[in-house]
Amino acid sequence: MIGEDHDYHACLSGRLELRHDPAQIDKHWNNVIAAWFEGGKDDPNLTMLALKLDDAAIWASTGNPLRFGWEIAKSNYDEEKTPDVGIRTSVRFS
């Protein structure tokens, strides 16, 4: 995932599971969805998925292209320097 202004990036990891949960179908059902499924809520082509997250990484950038370029240039000049272009955090889901 990338933010609209490219100020953050996220990477999500997990398992997709096929779900046929009538309560969730009822919750999300509306006229727009009904237009795509001739068989209604029991249409065999209606598929719902659940993403069970294991972990995620999120990066938030400085949002300043000049600073980004400066940090990259400094890092290319000094092999021991890592660019400081924002923050990064990881999240584990149980």
Q: In the numeric block, which tokens belong to residue 10?
A: 């996220």
Does the pLDDT value for residue 79 go beyond 90?
A: no
Q: What gap in Å lies between CA 16 and CA 19, rounded to an integer?
A: 9
pTM beyond cutoff 0.75: no
At residue 83, the pLDDT reads: 80
Residue ranges and CATH numbers for the domains of the chain are 8-92 (2.30.110.10)
Dump pLDDT digits (tens) for 16-68. Answer: 999 989 999 999 999 999 999 999 999 999 999 999 999 999 888 766 778 87
Q: List Cα–Cα distances, 24 to 5, 41, 49, 86, in angstroms.
A: 32, 11, 11, 38
pLDDT tier at 5, thresholds 50, 70, 90: confident
Mean pLDDT score, 69-74: 86
